[in-house]
Chain A
Amino acid sequence: MSLEKKYQKEIKQILAKYPPEQKRSAVMPILYLAQREEGYVNKAAMQDIAKLLDITETEVASIIGFYSLYHDEKAGKYRMQVCNDLPCALRGADEFLNNLCGNLGIKVGETTADGLVTLEAVTCLAACDKAPMFQTQGPDGIKYHENMTIDKTLELIEALKRAEGEVK
C-alpha cells in the first residue's frame, strides 16, 4: 500500500501545518511516519514521498542521510541511544555504556541476537543533569530514560521483550 493511502489521515494533518505552496516542509514529519513500522525508510516510501511533495527521490535520500534520526537500513526494533557526550561522560556515561555492552554481549553499533535492541552512542540529548541516560527510538516514537542504572536498563529490556511476546 502506498504511504499516502496507509497514513491518509496523518498526512492530511501534517500538510495542513504548512502553506499549500510549501508542502515540501512536510518531508520531515512524513519521514517519521514512513519509518514507523520497520524502523527505516524503504525505497518504495522514498518514491511515495518524492511524488507526494514534488521533490526528487535524490532529495529525499539526501535528507535521510543528513539527519541522524532517519535511517535507511534495518536495525533492532528499538535503537537504544546512550549519550556519552562530555557532560554525561563526566557523570559516568562511558562506564555505563561499557557495562551495558558487557551485559548485553554486544558492541556499540550491534544488535542483540533476538533483533530487539541496537545499541548506539550519541551526542548530547539535553538531559546532562540526569546521566546516565539514553533514549529509545522505536515504533512508538522516541522516549527518554534518565538517571539510569544497569539494573533498570536490563529491566526495561525485559519489559520490551515481554511486550514483544504478547504482540506475537
Chain B
Amino acid sequence: MKWSFIDNKNWPHYVVANADESEPGTFKDREIMESNPFQFLEGLALASYAVGATVAYIYLRGEFWQVAAFLDEKIAEMEKAGYLGDNLFGKDYSLKIFTHLGAGAYICGEETALLESLEGKRGQPRVRPPFPPSFGLYGKPTIINNVETFTNVPMILANGADWYKSMGTQDSAGVKIFSLSGRVRKPGNYELPFGTTFRQLIYEHGGGIQEGRPVKAIMAAGASSSIIVVDDKVLDTPMDYATVRTIGADLGSASVIVLDDTVDIDWVVNKTIHFFKHESCGKCTPCREGNYWMKNLTTRIHSGDGSKADVDLLLNVAKQMQGKCLCALGEFSTMAVVTGIERFPQDFKKVVKA
C-alpha cells in the first residue's frame, strides 16, 4: 500500500475510497458495501487514522444511489456508537466520513479524474506527476484506494501480514474477489486465494458453461481485457498477476467474462468499443478520435458491410493509439480490438464481404 508515500509537509491530508466500480464485468465493490459495510468503513477509518486525515470521502458511482443511502445510515450508526466523530477513543483525533455520488462516467474511476469530479468539475484525468499522495484532493496529499483494498485492512491488522501472505501465491499475496460473468451457469462474486485456476473458478464455483458448451475465450479484467484464446493449458493457469501475464493478458480487477463457442468475437469487439467510445472523456485526441473511428469501423464490420480493408484499418487505428493516450482508458479501449483481430481472425473473415 502506498500510504507511506504521503507528503507529511503539506496538510490537511485526505483519504478517498474509490467506489466508482464501472468496468463492465465488475460488481464486487457494491456487494462488499451492501453485505459488509462495517468492515469497509473500519478499513477506511484505520487508513485515515494512519495518515492523519480527519475527513474521508467515499466516491460512489451515481447509480449506487441506494448503496450511498445505506452507507449513510451505517456511518450515522458508527457516529452514535462513538467510532466516528470527535476525540475518538479518548485521543486527540477526529474523523468524519462522507459519501459523494458521481453521475455516470466510467472515467471517474481513474483516480485523478475522480478527484476532479469530487472537486465539482468535469471528471477528466490530470496530467501526472504530481500524484495524489503529494497533490490530491484540493491540491492536498491524498490516499485513494479501492473499496476492496480498504475492506482487507482490518483483517490484516488483526491477524498480521504473515497470515495474509500465507494465502495466495508468491507473486500475489492473499485473497481476491473474482467477479465471474458471461456464459457460466452461476455468475457471481467468489472470494478465492490468488492462484486459483480459471478452471476451478468457472467449473467448481461457476457451475460450468450453460448447456455444457466449451469455453472459447476469456476476458480476465472486464471490457479492458485482451481476449484470451482458451485451451486446457489456459484453463489450468493459476490466476495471479504474474502468471496471467504469461498467457498474454492482465488480471486487473479480476473481472472474468467467459465467452463460449456461440459467441462471435467481432460482436464482442463491437460491444467493447461501443462502451469506450461512450466513456472516452474527450480530453486527448488519440483516444477521442481513435474511439470515434473504431466505433464506425466495428459497427460497419459487425453489420456485415465491412471489408477486409476495414478490419486492417481498425487494427491499425488501435495500434496507432497505443502508448499515446493521456490515461489508461485509451489503452484499455484497444485491448479487445487488437487481440480479437489477431487471435480470432476467422471470426472477422466470416463477417466481411469478400
- Decide whether A and B assemble into one complex: yes
Tell me the A14-52 residues at the B interface (CB within 8 Å). 17, 19, 22, 24-29, 31-32
B182 to chain A: which residues have CB within 8 Å? 87, 90-91
B23 to chain A: which residues have CB within 8 Å? 124
| B105 and A86 contacting across the interface, CB-CB below 8 Å | no
Q: What is the distance, in angstroms, from A137's C-beta to the closest C-beta of chain B?
A: 9
| B103 and A68 contacting across the interface, CB-CB below 8 Å | yes
Q: Which of B61-69, B165-173, B191-199, B339-347 contacts A (4 or more CB under 8 A)?
A: B61-69
Interface status of A108 (Cβ within 8 A of chain B) = no
Q: Which of B24-32, B82-90, B304-312 contacts A (4 or more CB under 8 A)?
A: B24-32
Residues of B within 8 Å of A, CB-based: how many?
A: 52
Interface status of A141 (Cβ within 8 A of chain B) = yes
| A128 and B181 contacting across the interface, CB-CB below 8 Å | yes
Interface status of A148 (Cβ within 8 A of chain B) = no
Interface status of A85 (Cβ within 8 A of chain B) = yes
Q: What is the distance, in angstroms, from A140's C-beta to the closest C-beta of chain B?
A: 9
Tell me the B112-154 residues at the A interface (CB within 8 Å). 117-123, 138
| B100 and A128 contacting across the interface, CB-CB below 8 Å | no
Interface status of B214 (Cβ within 8 A of chain A) = no
Q: How far is the CA of A87 from the CA of B69 in the complex (A)?
A: 27
Q: How large is the interface on A (under 10, 10 to 19, 20 to 34, 35 or more residues)?
A: 35 or more
| A22 and B180 contacting across the interface, CB-CB below 8 Å | no
Q: How far is the CA of A124 from the CA of B26 in the complex (A)?
A: 9
| A90 and B183 contacting across the interface, CB-CB below 8 Å | yes
Q: What is the distance, in angstroms, from A87's C-beta to the closest C-beta of chain B?
A: 4
If A25-B118, A31-B103, A63-B122 touch, whether A128 touches B63 (CB-CB below 8 Å) is: no
Tell me the A106-163 residues at the B interface (CB within 8 Å). 123-129, 135, 141-144
Q: What is the distance, in angstroms, from B125's C-beta to the closest C-beta of chain A?
A: 13
| Chain A minimum-CB-distance residue to B20 | A126
Interface status of B278 (Cβ within 8 A of chain A) = yes
| B62 and A69 contacting across the interface, CB-CB below 8 Å | yes
B138 to chain A: which residues have CB within 8 Å? 19, 22
Interface status of B45 (Cβ within 8 A of chain A) = no
Interface status of B220 (Cβ within 8 A of chain A) = no
If A67-B105, A124-B25 touch, whether A142 touches B63 (CB-CB below 8 Å) is: yes
| A128 and B102 contacting across the interface, CB-CB below 8 Å | no
A142 to chain B: which residues have CB within 8 Å? 62-63, 65-66
A66 to chain B: which residues have CB within 8 Å? 105, 122-123, 281
Q: How far is the CA of A59 from the CA of B127 in the complex (A)?
A: 21
If A86-B25, A91-B187 touch, whether A17 touches B98 (CB-CB below 8 Å) is: yes
If A26-B120, A69-B104 touch, whether A87 touches B62 (CB-CB below 8 Å) is: no
Interface status of B348 (Cβ within 8 A of chain A) = no
B98 to chain A: which residues have CB within 8 Å? 17
Tell me the B90-106 residues at the A interface (CB within 8 Å). 98, 100-106
A91 to chain B: which residues have CB within 8 Å? 181-183, 187
| A32 and B29 contacting across the interface, CB-CB below 8 Å | no
If A28-B117, A90-B259 touch, whether A128 touches B179 (CB-CB below 8 Å) is: yes
- A24-B120, A31-B103, A123-B275 provided; 8 other pairs, C-beta below 8 A? A22-B119, A24-B119, A28-B103, A67-B102, A67-B103, A69-B104, A90-B182, A143-B65
Q: What is the distance, in angstroms, from B284's C-beta to the closest C-beta of chain A?
A: 15
Interchain CB contact (< 8 A) of B63 among A27, A87, A125 = A125
| Chain A minimum-CB-distance residue to B29 | A126
| Chain B minimum-CB-distance residue to A62 | B122
Tell me the A49-67 residues at the B interface (CB within 8 Å). 53, 55, 62-63, 66-67
Total contacts A-B at CB 8 Å: 131
B281 to chain A: which residues have CB within 8 Å? 66
Interface status of B288 (Cβ within 8 A of chain A) = no
9 A-B contacts (beta carbon < 8 Å): A28-B101, A28-B103, A29-B100, A67-B62, A69-B63, A124-B275, A126-B61, A127-B30, A129-B180
A53 to chain B: which residues have CB within 8 Å? 120
Interchain CB contact (< 8 A) of A128 among B25, B104, B121 = B25
| A135 and B103 contacting across the interface, CB-CB below 8 Å | no
| A86 and B101 contacting across the interface, CB-CB below 8 Å | no
| A123 and B27 contacting across the interface, CB-CB below 8 Å | no
Interchain CB contact (< 8 A) of B24 among A31, A32, A67, A87 = A87
Q: How far is the CA of A29 from the CA of B278 in the complex (A)?
A: 23
Interface status of A89 (Cβ within 8 A of chain B) = yes
B52 to chain A: which residues have CB within 8 Å? none
| Chain A minimum-CB-distance residue to B138 | A22
If A87-B181, A90-B181, A129-B187 touch, whether A67 touches B104 (CB-CB below 8 Å) is: yes
| B187 and A128 contacting across the interface, CB-CB below 8 Å | yes
| B257 and A87 contacting across the interface, CB-CB below 8 Å | yes
A22 to chain B: which residues have CB within 8 Å? 119-120, 138
| A86 and B122 contacting across the interface, CB-CB below 8 Å | no
